[in-house]
Amino acid sequence: MLKKWLPNWLNGLIVGCVLFSNVIIFGTLVLLFGLVKMLLPLGVINTILHRVYRGWCNGNRFGLWLGCPNIEVNINGDLNLQSWYLLICNHMSWLDIAVLSSLHKLPAPKFFLKDELKYVPFIGSGAWAMGMPFMKRVSKAQLAKNPKLKGLDVERTKHSCRNFRRNPTTIINFVEGTRYTPAKHTSQQSPFKHLLKPKAGGIAFALEVLGEQFDAMLNSSVVYSGKTSHVCRNILTGELNSIYVSIDVTPINEQMLGSYQHDKAFRSDFQKYVNELWVAKDRQLTGIYAQQDLPEPQVSKEIETL
């Protein structure tokens, strides 16, 4: 591992180059094969596309191995590369995407992404080529001006999820909808110590479309330890000390299935269910910090820049 032999700044530079090059190279290849797939919708093209995408995942794994001396993954339950999973997770940093995609025991990870990311070179185009859903939040004011926007996000999500039936997939949803920062935590007046308030819609829509095909839900938590609270800055300066990932394999039950958009009673019950999951996750994160002997993030008004 380079981190043992090189100064932090040089290690961080190398890791940054590896991760960014990985995005550019495989993002371009995924886009090209995605365009070919549009013109020639053949099974062999889809297979090649997924193999290229797996190359991006392996590149992330290599970059993290170079940049972090201690990566621990704790899986409670059995996983199968030929299965379908819904993975929910807390969201600490952009690095979460690299970490979760690097887990070789998961079938092809697909993410729910914010709509703004589709304009990001290589990342947005690659995600589009893989058929990942882009989530666009519509405000009440926008709905008042254009009622046709209601339910548009739902249909996009359902369409993308239907495409995932063809290949074993792990659909990853960051339930908070945005990265945790102390400033956001304060602004939300979040009742949780380590988390922002959860958004239940994305999980519910994925379950509505693929509920019978999902083999399990993966309740995941990611914790980082470094010189500062800025995770991306830590790895790019060679100062990220550890990454800890916990995954609990949870069966899909009847309480999780229903029409979130049309059934008000189900929507209320499902929001309560997700909130209870978040209460338990908050306690779990407190336990992880204590068990791993890690300093807990400070809740303040400091604004994260990366």
Binning pLDDT at 50, 70 and 90, where does residue 299 land? low
Indicate the pairing of strand 85-89 with strand 170-174: parallel
Q: Is residue 9 part of a domain?
A: no
Q: Helix (H, G, I), strand (E, B), or coil: what is residue 245?
A: strand
Number of folded domains that form the chain: 1
Hey, how many other C-beta atoms are within 10 angstroms of the C-beta on 190? 19
Altogether, the residues listed in the chain come to a count of 306
User: What's phi and psi for 231, nearest 5 deg?
Assistant: -65, -50
Question: What pLDDT score was predicted for residue 304?
Answer: 40
Question: What pLDDT score was predicted for residue 128?
Answer: 81
Query: Which range marks the domain in which residue 83 is found?
Result: 70-291
3-55 per-position pLDDT tens digit: 667 888 899 999 999 999 999 999 999 989 988 988 887 888 888 988 999 99
Question: What pLDDT score was predicted for residue 301?
Answer: 43
Question: What pLDDT score was predicted for residue 34?
Answer: 87
**What does the angle CA 202 – CA 30 – CA 173 come to, to the nearest 5 degrees?**
15
Please name the residues in contact with 205: beta carbons below 8 A apart, sequence gap of 6 or more.
154, 157, 158, 161, 260, 261
Question: What pLDDT score was predicted for residue 297?
Answer: 67
Q: Helix (H, G, I), strand (E, B), or coil: what is residue 188?
A: helix
Query: Residue 304 gets which letter from DSSP?
Result: P
Average pLDDT score over residue span 259-279: 92
111-154 per-position pLDDT tens digit: 877 777 777 888 888 888 887 877 766 556 666 676 665 656 66
212: alpha, beta or left, given left = phi > 0 and alpha = psi -120 to 50? alpha
Q: CA gyration radius for the chain?
A: 19
Cβ pair 105, 81 in contact under 8 A? yes
85-121 per-position pLDDT tens digit: 999 999 999 999 999 999 999 999 988 777 777 778 8
Q: Is residue 2 part of a domain?
A: no
List beta partners, residue 88: 173, 219
Q: Is residue 262 part of a domain?
A: yes
Cβ pair 260, 266 in contact under 8 A? yes
Q: Is residue 40 part of a domain?
A: no
153-183 per-position pLDDT tens digit: 666 666 666 777 778 899 999 999 889 988 8
Q: Is the pLDDT of residue 208 over 80?
A: yes
Percentage of the residues of the chain whose pLDDT score is greater than 70: 87
Q: Is residue 64 part of a domain?
A: no
Q: Is residue 45 part of a domain?
A: no
Binning pLDDT at 50, 70 and 90, where does residue 68 land? very high
Q: Is residue 63 part of a domain?
A: no
Q: Which of 67-81, 84-98, 290-304 has the lowest mean pLDDT?
A: 290-304
Helix/strand number for the chain, H first, E second: 10, 8
Q: Is residue 54 part of a domain?
A: no
Per 3-state DSSP, what percentage of the chain is helix, strand, and coil (rounded to 5)? 50, 15, 35
**C-alpha pair distances (Å), 30 with each of 24, 51, 243:** 10, 9, 28
Q: Is the pLDDT of residue 298 over 70?
A: no
Cβ pair 63, 98 in contact under 8 A? yes
Cβ pair 72, 245 in contact under 8 A? yes
Please name the residues in contact with 31: beta carbons below 8 A apart, sequence gap of 6 or more.
122, 125, 126, 128, 129
**C-alpha pair distances (Å), 136 with each of 19, 155, 179:** 27, 12, 16
Q: E strands of the chain, at which residues?
A: 70-76, 85-89, 109-111, 113-114, 134-135, 170-174, 216-226, 240-250
Tell me the average pLDDT of the chain: 86
Residue 79 belongs to a domain with what CATH number? 3.40.1130
